[in-house]
A and B are shown apart, each in its own frame.
Chain A
Amino acid sequence: MEKRFVYADNAATTRVSQSVLDAMMPYLAEHYGNASSVYSIARTAKRAIEEARGKVAAALGAEPREIYFTSCGTESDNWAIKGAAMKLAAKGKKHIITSNFEHHAVLHTCEYLEKHGFEVTYLPVDSMGLISPEQVEKAIRPDTALVTIMYANNEIGTIQPVAEIGKVCRDKGVLFHTDAVQAVGNVPINVKEQNIDMLSLSGHKIHAPKGIGALYIRKGVVIDNFMHGGGQESGKRGGTENTAYIVALGQAIEDAVNGLDAKAARLTKLRDRLIDGMLKIPVSRLNGDPVKRLCGNVNVSFEAVEGEALLLRLDLKGVCGSSGSACTSGSLDPSHVLLAIGLPHEVAHGSLRLSLGDDTTDEDVDYILEVLPGVVQTLRDMSPVWNGGR
C-alpha cells in the first residue's frame, strides 16, 4: 500500500469541519459586533449566540439557560470544581470526591484545592478503568461538597456508569460534575436522565476550533463565578463573547449529535478491527475495557518498545497517534491513567493510543495494520530488553 497520511489522534483534537467553518466565518469580519451592544450587527451576533446555546442545550437534553460558554474544557472543569468548592465551603462542606485517573484539568484543580484546606478522596479505578457507584456511595460524607468523575477517559476510552453515579449523588444531596470532553459527540447524553448537575465539554474534540467550551449547570445549582468581569453569560462568566467560536460549537455539536448513531456504529466496527489486528502483534495488550469504551478509542501496549519512538516511527509512515510514555507526558513517569489501571511502568512506556474519528476510513485502518507490525519489530530489534517474545 502506498504511503498515506492517517490522522488517528482525534482524542487530542479534530479537524475543523466544513459545515462548522461555513457557519462561523460570517461572525469574524461581517457580523463582528459586540453581542452586548444595541445596534444591528451586535444583535445579529447576540441572536447567533443564543441559537448556538439552544443547539448545545438540545444536544445534552438541557435548557438553553443552563448552558454557559467558556474558553475550553479546562476552564469548564476549573469553574465547576472551584466554583462548587468555594460556594459549599461556606456551608462547611470541604470534601471532594474524584477518581485517580481524571484528566489533569480535574486532578490538578483538586490538588490546588487541597492546598487551600479542602480534602479530596481519589477513588481508585479497577483494571479496566471503571469506578462503581458503590465506591462513590461509600466515599460520600456529610461534608462532601462535590463528586467529579469523568464521563469517558481520554486515554483508554473507558465509559463510566454516569447515570448510576449521578443517582447516588442525587440521593445523597451531593453535587455531581462530569468532565464529558471525550464523551460528547461519541455517546448519547441526557443530563436530566443521567442525574448530572454539571457537565464540561470542549469544541475542538468535535470539529469546532480550539478555544471554545461550555459548562452545563443545572438550574437551581448555584456555584461561585470563576471568570469575574462583565455581565455576559447571565453575569456568571465575564468576557466578551467569542461569537464565531460559539457559533462553531453550536454547529459542531448539532452535527455530532445528528450523526451519532451512524458514527458510533461505523467507528465501533473500525475500532474493533484495528484492535484485533494490533493484538496480533506478539506481546501486546489492550488497555481499558473492550466494550464500555469510546467508539473511536484504541489503546494498546507493546512490550520492549518506548512510546515516543513508536510515534516518531509511525510519523515517518504518515500516521499520527499518541502515547502515555514518560517521554510524551512531559515528565519522568508514564501516564497516570495507565499506572492507575495497574500497568507496570515499563509496559505503560510502550503504549500507543490511536483515536479514530469522522474522517477515518477502512483504508486508514488497513494502512495502520500494514505498517504498525514492522514499526514495532524495528524498535524491538534494537531494544536490549526484547527477548523475542519468549
Chain B
Amino acid sequence: MLYSDKVLDHFSNPRNVGEIEDANGVGEVGNAKCGDIMKMYLKINGNTIEDVKFKTFGCGAAIATSSIATEMIKGKSIDDALKLTNKAVVEALDGLPASKIHCSVLAEQAIKAALSDYYQRQGIDPLPIVGDIGECEACHLHE
C-alpha cells in the first residue's frame, strides 16, 4: 500500500483526536464488520464550528482522512463544512490508493452526520440542509 507522506503524517500524528464533552453535534458512520467506524464531535457556536474532534476505528487511510477532515472544517462556517467533499479530502492528502477512496467518503459522511445531529438537536429537519447522507457503498457489498 503506497501512501503519500501527507497520509502517513496524519496517520502518525493525527490532529484533533478525542471526544468533546459538551459537543452539540455528534455523528457516527461505518460499521465494525467493514473494519471502519468514524465518529465526529462538533462544538458549534452560531454558524461557526468552534471545535471538532474525532475517534476512528480503521486503517491508516481511515485515520488520516478523519484527521485532515477535522483540520479542514475547524473554525469554518457550517456552510463551508457542508461543502466539504470526499474529493477535497483526497486532494488535501495528496491522493489515496484506489481501494482507500471509501475512507474519504466516510470522512465526508461523518461530518454530515454530525451536522444532521446538530440540526436535529435544534429541532430543525436536517434533510433539506444536509441532504441524504447515504451509506458507504463498500458496506452495501457486504449484504
- A306 in contact (CB, < 8 A): yes
How many Å lie between the Cα of A306 and that of B33 in the bound state? 11
Q: A308, B56: Cβ atoms under 8 Å?
A: no
Q: B11, A309: Cβ atoms under 8 Å?
A: yes
Tell me the minimal C-beta distance from A11 to chain B in angstroms.
19
Q: A330, B99: Cβ atoms under 8 Å?
A: yes
A329-382 residues at the B interface, CB under 8 angstroms: 330, 332-334, 345-346, 349, 381-382
Q: B14, A382: Cβ atoms under 8 Å?
A: yes
Q: B35, A382: Cβ atoms under 8 Å?
A: no
Q: A384, B57: Cβ atoms under 8 Å?
A: yes
Chain A residues lying within 8 Å of B39, measured Cβ to Cβ, are: 384
Q: B35, A383: Cβ atoms under 8 Å?
A: no
- A327 in contact (CB, < 8 A): yes
- A191 in contact (CB, < 8 A): no
Tell me the minimal C-beta distance from A375 to chain B in angstroms.
12
Chain A residues lying within 8 Å of B32, measured Cβ to Cβ, are: 345-346, 349, 385
Chain B residues lying within 8 Å of A325, measured Cβ to Cβ, are: 35, 59
Q: A308, B59: Cβ atoms under 8 Å?
A: yes
Tell me the minimal C-beta distance from A305 to chain B in angstroms.
7
Residue from A312, A333, A385 having most chain B Cβ neighbours under 10 A? A312
Residue from A304, A330, A382 having most chain B Cβ neighbours under 10 A? A382
B46-73 residues at the A interface, CB under 8 angstroms: 54-63
- B20 in contact (CB, < 8 A): no
- B1 in contact (CB, < 8 A): yes
Q: A309, B142: Cβ atoms under 8 Å?
A: no
Contact of A332 among B1, B63, B141 (CB under 8 A): B141
Contact of A384 among B33, B56, B60 (CB under 8 A): B56
Q: A309, B59: Cβ atoms under 8 Å?
A: yes
How many Å lie between the Cα of A349 and that of B30 in the bound state? 14
Q: A306, B57: Cβ atoms under 8 Å?
A: yes
A167-204 residues at the B interface, CB under 8 angstroms: none
Residue from B12, B18, B63 having most chain A Cβ neighbours under 10 A? B63
Question: A300-312 interface mask toward B, CB cutoff 8 Å, 1 = contact, 0 = none?
Answer: 0000111111001
Q: A385, B57: Cβ atoms under 8 Å?
A: yes
Given known A308-B1, A309-B11, A327-B35, contact A332–B138 (CB-CB < 8 A): yes
Q: B37, A385: Cβ atoms under 8 Å?
A: yes
Chain B residues lying within 8 Å of A328, measured Cβ to Cβ, are: 1
Chain A residues lying within 8 Å of B54, measured Cβ to Cβ, are: 382
B91-136 residues at the A interface, CB under 8 angstroms: 99-100
How many Å lie between the Cα of A191 and that of B129 in the bound state? 70
Q: A308, B57: Cβ atoms under 8 Å?
A: no
Tell me the minimal C-beta distance from B35 to chain A in angstroms.
4
Question: Interface residues of A toward B: which range?
Answer: 20 to 34
Chain A residues lying within 8 Å of B62, measured Cβ to Cβ, are: 306, 309
Given known A306-B59, A325-B59, contact A316–B12 (CB-CB < 8 A): yes
B1-43 residues at the A interface, CB under 8 angstroms: 1, 8, 11-12, 14, 17-18, 28, 32-39
Q: B142, A305: Cβ atoms under 8 Å?
A: no
How many Å lie between the Cα of A133 and that of B5 in the bound state? 51
Q: A334, B55: Cβ atoms under 8 Å?
A: no
- A128 in contact (CB, < 8 A): no
Tell me the minimal C-beta distance from A325 to chain B in angstroms.
6
Tell me the minimal C-beta distance from A376 to chain B in angstroms.
13
- A326 in contact (CB, < 8 A): yes
Q: B28, A384: Cβ atoms under 8 Å?
A: yes
Chain B residues lying within 8 Å of A309, measured Cβ to Cβ, are: 11, 58-60, 62-63
How many Å lie between the Cα of A306 and that of B34 in the bound state? 10
A292-325 residues at the B interface, CB under 8 angstroms: 304-309, 312-313, 316, 325
Given known A309-B60, A330-B99, A332-B138, contact A345–B55 (CB-CB < 8 A): no
Q: A332, B34: Cβ atoms under 8 Å?
A: yes
Q: A334, B12: Cβ atoms under 8 Å?
A: no
Q: B142, A306: Cβ atoms under 8 Å?
A: no
Tell me the minimal C-beta distance from A78 to chain B in angstroms.
26
Question: Which are the 8 A-B pairs with shortest beta-carbon distances?
Answer: A327-B59, A346-B32, A308-B59, A349-B35, A384-B39, A384-B55, A383-B57, A345-B33
Contacts A306-B36, A309-B59, A383-B55 given; 17 further ones with Cβ under 8 A?
Answer: A306-B62, A309-B11, A309-B58, A309-B60, A316-B12, A327-B60, A327-B61, A328-B1, A332-B34, A332-B141, A346-B33, A349-B32, A349-B35, A382-B56, A383-B37, A383-B56, A384-B28
The 15 listed contacts between A and B (C-beta, < 8 Å) are: A305-B57, A308-B1, A308-B60, A313-B12, A326-B35, A327-B61, A330-B99, A333-B142, A345-B33, A345-B35, A346-B35, A382-B18, A384-B55, A384-B56, A385-B57
